[in-house]
Structure 1
Amino acid sequence: MRAAIDIGSNSIRLALSDGTGRSTITKLADGIDRTGKLSPVGLSATLDALREYAKVCRAAGCDNITVFATEAVRRAADGEQFCAAVKAEINLDVLILSAEQEARLALAGATKPDGAITVCDLGGGSLEVICSEDGKTPSYVKSLPLGVVVMKNKFNGDYRRAIDELPTLLREYGTVPAHPVVITGGSACTIAACMLNLKIYDKNKVSTRFTAKQLDDFMPMLLSPKLALFRPVCQKRADTVPYGAIVIQALLNRLGATEFYVSDASNLEAVLNGALDDTI
């Protein structure tokens, strides 16, 4: 039995090869732009989740547990210290992915149409944009610190300023090939669940196609202070989902995309299926 654990900037996720999965919001990157370090509250929540996930893995008889961390741990001054604590307290080795490894895994793991594709992995700390002419080999990879936790900390509830400034922030991606767009990450999937009015999150239902106009029309709901009341499926992400929507809307405009796909599967599934070996 194999297991993979993704220590993200906003959440930590577990997947087992028998289909078992868990996700916990930890907000590890909260405040990192101000302090340069991982959130103390997020650290505690992440370690608690890792302890629980390790128990699940060992109870299931997993003989292979791959644990990896992304933007928050990669960027934080105390990222290596955190990995050492995980080893000392939970006996799990944590691999800190490079931005390029993270991007390649997102491309490998995403559920996507055949052929040329642009995969956009929106996490808590970063936004990776990966283009591929054949859907397998990256031809363009760029990661910027435009994740939803970073955006929440930067704009602090001022959605209007976020909407006005995102187009400028996205210019750093330069010219991106005009391929079909797939968006991955917890915020994108939660937004999809909200747009579908799901009462209970369903990873198979959220992995589908939407038009940019559908998102535009739904923005008032996504930016509403009563979002979690009307769409309880996003309750745990209610403070970051609005920024995810703003980033995605600006990104689609930047790419000139009139439609996009959402994929629940991403780097976690790629690692579980052994794709990490191809990036090392």
Structure 2
Amino acid sequence: MSVTRVGAIDCGTNSIRLLVADLDPETGEITDLDRRMVINRLGQGVDRTGRLAPEALERTFAACREYAAVLAEHGVGPDRLRFVATSASRDAENSAEYVAGVKEILGVEPTVVSGDEEARLSFTGATKELTGGQFPGPYLVFDLGGGSTEFVLGTTGVEAARSVDIGCVRLTERHFGGGGGVPTAEQIALARADVDAALDRAAEAVPLTAAATLVGLAGTVTTVAGIALGLPEYDSARIHHARLTVRQVRETAHRLLEMEHAERAAIPVMHPGRVDVIGAGALVLLEIMERTGAAELVVSEHDILDGVAWSLVS
């Protein structure tokens, strides 16, 4: 089979991302042609109202128009494009408006995947290149999103998976008053309890302590990695497959939770759209590491977006 050019879009609670890539199914090689992200905060207020906000929809549609131009530039039509929608659109009452807008702009309907399918796509994207003795299996892959976190355990394939409704946006809105200031000790304690309850639900389906390698995905994880590594700017090449100790994650999470908004915004690797939610996200990350008992975390820049791309040729 020859190399196939595809487009993949992952629209989550906090961000919408595009990957245009050439895939070689025989070698398992993926060659990026364009990979980009827009913070659209589609999940704004969904936990409280049950609806997608008009301004959140417009931000999302604006990103779709940008992505349509990129796809056209690379010659990727609707027949080689997959758009996956995750947590926020699963929860919203007015999801039909969202689906119609995406289809009008891009020519494809969003595939609203289940939490378990989201986990499987993340696993494929994260582990396809993790072979050999450097990263031994089995792997516990977690995708820490804005509205949900997916856990999947496996070696060459998925053995167990579970999605739970805990993420950086949802936790910020529930407990941190929107994320502008420094959370109180009481707010942090309530947030920890919320995360612990979610991890209890995940552990009902996925053995959280059974993996040889813990792999973390998505923007919270890569941002925490960039901060822990002291990078002067975001550098995906240095972040991809970086190893973080639980001590590094703990110290970084505590620092972020003690920072004022302006201090977080001044961090060199921080995307402006993550400033409000990074404290809550780092707290979730720390709780996951402590629950799994992992001494270190492998950070992956390849995630559900890569899994969506591979699903087009599988």
TM-score, reference length from structure 2: 0.82
Paired AA for residue 199 in structure 2 = L
CA deviation string 1:65-120 (max 9, x = no partner): 22111111122112233112221344332211111111001100015424201001
How do 1:1-280 and structure 2 match up within 5 A?
1-17=5-21, 18-63=32-77, 64-111=80-127, 112=130, 113-132=135-154, 135-155=155-175, 156=177, 157=179, 158=183, 159-160=187-188, 161-174=190-203, 175-179=207-211, 180-207=213-240, 208-223=242-257, 224-225=259-260, 226-272=263-309, 274-275=310-311
Provide the rounded CA distance (Å) in 2 between the counterparts of 1:240 and 1:22.
Answer: 20
Secondary structure class of the residue paired with 2:266: helix
Cα deviation for residue 43 of structure 1 reads: 0.9
Structure 1 portions without partners, runs of 5+: none
Q: Deviations over 1:23-59 (max 9, x none)?
A: 0001001111111112322111000000110011112
For structure 2, the residue ranges without an aligned partner over 5 or more in a row are 22-31
Amino acid at match of 2:233: I
Tell me which moved more, 162-171 or 192-201.
162-171
The 1:66–1:147 alpha-carbon spacing in structure 2 relative to 1, beyond 3 Å, is same
What is the Cα-based RMSD across aligned positions, in Å? 1.8
| C-alpha distance in 2 between matches for 1:235 and 1:199 | 16
1:65 maps to amino acid:
L
Separation (CA, whole Å) in 1 of partners of 2:113 and 2:312: 10
Does structure 2 conserve the Cα–Cα contact (< 8 Å) formed by 1:131 and 1:177?
A: no
User: What's the secondary structure of 1:233's corresponding residue?
Assistant: coil
Query: Structure 2: how far apart are the matches of 1:235 and 1:198?
Result: 16
Alignment partner of 1:66: what SS?
Answer: strand
Counterpart AA for 1:12: I
- Letter of the 1:117 counterpart: Y
Q: Secondary structure at the match of 2:17?
A: strand
Shift of 1:259: 1.1
Map Cα deviations across residues 136-172 of structure 1 (whole Å, 9 max, x no partner).
3212111011011111111124352323543233222
Distance 1:232 1:141, change over 3 A: closer
Structure 1 residue runs of 4+, over 4 Å off? none
Provide the rounded CA distance (Å) in 2 between the counterparts of 1:169 and 1:267: 21
Report the residue type matching 1:77 in the other structure.
E
Is the contact made by 2:50 and 2:93 (CA closer than 8 Å) also made in structure 1? yes
Q: Which secondary structure state, in structure 2, belongs to the residue aligned with residue 82 of structure 1?
A: helix
